[in-house]
Amino acid sequence: VQLQAYGGGLVQAGGSLRLSCETSGRTFRNDVMGWFRQAPGKDREFVAALKWRITYYVDSVKGRFTISRDMFKNTLYLQMNSLRPEDTAVYFCAAGTRTAITTNASAYDYWGQGTLVTVSS
């Protein structure tokens, strides 16, 4: 089972990026898929999660980020709009096979390698 995140980069404040997470080895059709981020010197933070059509976001990204998935492409997305310097972090995708939607990173079984998002002011 592999998760591979990509799509990060450098963007100015107010800009947009779309992160992708390609999965292989398992469909994750009935599993929780999530995005986390870790800023320099800080703990890993929950960003968003999705299971079936249910989504959940951390308050700081509500209205700006959208999590979605394409079952046929086995890909999870995170559309990030109105980016702020405080969104700068390494973003990780994750999959939880034995949990409902949760913000708890330890409940997720599989992790991607992370992709860096840098938002300049």
Write out pLDDT tens, residues 78-113.
Answer: 999 999 999 999 999 999 999 899 999 999 999 999
Model confidence pLDDT, tens digit, residues 17-31 = 999 999 999 888 899
Q: How far apart are CA 12 and CA 83, in angstroms?
A: 8
Residue 96 confidence (pLDDT): 95
Render pLDDT for 32-75 as a digit per residue (tens, 0 to 9). Answer: 999 999 999 999 999 999 999 999 999 999 999 999 999 999 99
Of 42, 37, 46, 39, the residue nearest 5 (C-alpha): 37
pLDDT of residue 27: 84
Q: Is 31 helix (H, G, I), strand (E, B) or coil?
A: coil
pLDDT attached to residue 28: 87
